[in-house]
Amino acid sequence: MANFGSDNAAGIHPKIIESIAAASTGTVPAYGADRLTELVENQLADIFECEVTVLLVGTGTAANCIGLATLCSSVGGIFAHSEAHIVNDESTAPELFTGGARQFAVGGSDAKPGLIELAEAIDVVGARGVHSVQPSVIAVSNLTELGARLSAIEVTAYAELAKSRGMKLFMDGARFANAVASGDESPAELTWRAGVDALSFGATKNGAMAAEALIFFNPSEATLAEFHRKRGGHLWSKHRFLAAQFEAYLENDLWLELATFSNNRMARLREGVASSKNASILAGGDGNELFIAMEQDVATELGQRGHTFYAWPSLPKGYRLVTSFNTTDEEIDEFIDDLK
């Protein structure tokens, strides 16, 4: 039966397992002072076509929160869409890591923060000087939490707003690979060339075991990041096993190959759902996430037949479907047959 609950439910790609196993032989310096870590830093610099500062961690929450803590002080404000992962799915970790920074949520279609509402919120929040929260960071996601892709033009618009208010732009890229694979813009064009200051670049959802890269495109702004990582308990002593995952993930563009595969499976799934009388598409489909509406009895029957997916409370009768690098056409076809 199909498991469309989360791409976190998928296993580890064999090439990444092989890389971890290869890294387990012998002894190497700890805490990131190893050859593999240096190699990964160089790989990422090549992919993004610029000098970068890279911190590897084991979870997306850690990457997001260390990045936000580096860009935002304890008296600052972080502005994001109301569907954002940092708002809904990271408990109070952003507040903990930043030492008390406040989050402000705005609306917008497809979980893309509406620019007018965002600008108004920033201006209102910071209007009282020392009595106010200091607007510090605009946070966007690519893919968004509703499965939409941000183009370079859209990212640039957020960056221009951030710059005009003296703020930084942070990008949650848990599914950045899917965003890149679904368009024709390069990683550089979707990030620093469009004005992104820092990116959490995900691998876990796309074939890794547990590996995320926090990337700063302005190395001078990353000074405190290493201290936030250590203070937060996310500096691995056996750091080479994070690096080993990324070394395999990035080599020969495996990351894009896997993301393209999961995107293509989603396209097949989306086509099937669109042809069904028992479901309608609400959002997503640009990458590997789709949000659909179903009656409760339809969802219950699909669950009883062994299919896994998550309810999405913010959408009417909404459910999320996610494909991964190991989703099969047979799983998709079986789900569509049962849906019809």
| Residue pLDDT, tens place only, 226-285 | 999 999 999 999 999 999 999 999 999 999 999 999 999 999 999 999 999 999 999 999
Rounded distance between C-alpha atoms, residue 33 and residue 240, angstroms? 9
Residue with the two structure tokens 């979870």: 59
pLDDT in tens, 265-279: 999 999 999 999 999
Q: Smallest Cα–Cα separation from 312: which of 146, 123, 176, 140?
A: 146
pLDDT in tens, 41-56: 999 999 999 999 999 9
* Per-residue confidence band for 2, with pLDDT thresholds at 50, 70 and 90: confident
Beta-carbon contacts of residue 209 (< 8 Å; ≥ 6 apart)? 12, 16, 17, 20, 245
pLDDT value, residue 340: 86
Three-state SS string across 62-93, please? HHHHHHHHHHCCCCEEEEEECCCHHHHCCCCH
Amino acid (1-letter code) at residue 232: G
User: Which SS3 state, helix, strand or coil, does residue 160 take?
Assistant: helix
Rounded distance between C-alpha atoms, residue 138 and residue 103, angstroms? 10
Helix axes 14-23, 240-250, angle to 10 degrees: 140
Task: Lowest mean pLDDT of 82-86, 125-129, 201-205, name the range.
Answer: 125-129
Domains of the chain plus CATH, in order, are 13-253 (3.40.640.10), 254-339 (3.90.1150.10)
User: Which SS3 state, helix, strand or coil, does residue 104 take?
Assistant: strand
Residue 110 has pLDDT above 90, yes or no: yes
CA 203 and chain centroid, separation: 9
Average pLDDT over residues 178-202: 98
* Per-residue confidence band for 303, with pLDDT thresholds at 50, 70 and 90: very high
Whether residue 105 contacts residue 111, with contact meaning beta carbons closer than 8 Å, is answered with no
Q: What percent of the chain has pLDDT over 90?
A: 99
pLDDT in tens, 314-327: 999 999 999 999 99
* Per-residue confidence band for 211, with pLDDT thresholds at 50, 70 and 90: very high
pLDDT value, residue 1: 81
